[in-house]
Structure formats: C-alpha cells, structure tokens
Amino acid sequence: MKPKAIVIGSSAGGLNALKEIFSVLDSRFSIPIIVVQHVSPHSDNYITTYLNKICAITVKEADEKEPIEGGKIYFAPPNFHLLIEEDNTISFSTEERVNFARPSIDILFETAVFAYGSNIVGIILTGANNDGAKGMKLINQYKGVTIVQDPKTAEVDTMPNCAIAATKIDHILSLKEIGKLLMKLDRE
C-alpha cells in the first residue's frame, strides 16, 4: 500500500544528503514529505529556497495549520517543533528542546505515527546526535517503513548508527538508493 507520508530527519551534512535524495524524485512524485533539518534558531530559509530551485516538486517551509498535500516537501521552521495533526495539518510548538534540538526529529516522527499509523515512512540521515532513534523505534512498532542512510556514506554517522541500534531497520541504503526506493513506493 502506498504510504500517506514520508518523514525525514537530518542534521550535520543534511543539506547535501537531502539534495541527493530529492534530485531523484520526478515531478509526478505524489507522497508528501515532511523534514526536520537541525538548523540554528536564527537560520533563514536558505535550505528551502535552494532545494526548491533544484527539485522537481515544491519545497517550502511549513506554515502553521497548513494542510499536508501530496507532491510537496515541507520543512520545519527554525526554532519550532513541527507536529503532524490527525486532521492531516501541520502545527508548531515551542516546547523545550528534545535531544538538544528544536525542531526535534523524534517529535515529528512520533506525531506522524499517531496521524498515519503504519502508512508512514521514516528516514534518518546524517547527523551528530541520537535525535530520531526513539521515533524510528515507534514507527517500527506501528509497522511503518524504516530507512536509514548507510552510516558508511553519512557525513556524520552518529544519527544513522543510533537509529540502527534502537530498532530493526527495514532498509539501510545509500542516498541514491533511498531516492529510488521512494520513487518505487510512490508508484505502488
């Protein structure tokens, strides 16, 4: 069954990793993608502007209460946790940092599971802490699909290794292979 959403967590080295994955997606790609990229609280929207210029589908910073639509890539804004509501909309929180981060990958993943159940794909990419490992475990428990960047190909392998240590991972792949798998899942 085609997933209802894809959630991605990345940190140090994430821009290059996301660029490589998203470059594989074509203009017909229809599964919504929601991303937490660890950035400075004072960061501008450089990442979304840059990726939107090179991607075949729309890349944008998410807006409060925005309905999640297929064929779009949504990024959490700096200094806000991004939550997925059960009515398929986005909301924000300024609750305390989780794993030293706001936005937190774990919060995105946990709320995505409660919104989509087993119809979710979780992806952990390069990064320097354990954010996302707990969320991947929950996605696995709910029978969603779990994907981790091969730690050998990660700019910083801590996040992929923490996710692999936390739970059974369905796919450990290079970035290009992740992009190809997402295309395959979209065509199901």
The pair of three-digit structure tokens given for residue 82, joined into one six-digit string: 């991004």
Residue 38 known to be catalytic: yes
Q: How many residues in the chain?
A: 188
Please state, as a whole number, how many other Cβ atoms lie within 10 Å of the Cβ of residue 27.
9
Spot the catalytic one: 11, 81, 104, 157: 11
> Which residue among 38, 104, 106, 186 is the active-site one?
38
Token pair recorded at residue 173: 């792949």
State how beta strands 90-93 and 81-84 pair. Answer: antiparallel
157 is catalytic: no
11 in catalytic set: yes
10, 104, 131, 186: the catalytic one is 131
3 state DSSP class of 155: coil
Specify whether the backbone of 157 is left (phi greater than 0), alpha (psi in -120 to 50) or beta. alpha
- How far is the C-alpha of 115 from the C-alpha of 183, rounded, in Å? 22
User: Tokens 């995505």 appear where?
Assistant: 112
Task: Write out the catalytic residue numbers.
Answer: 11, 38, 131
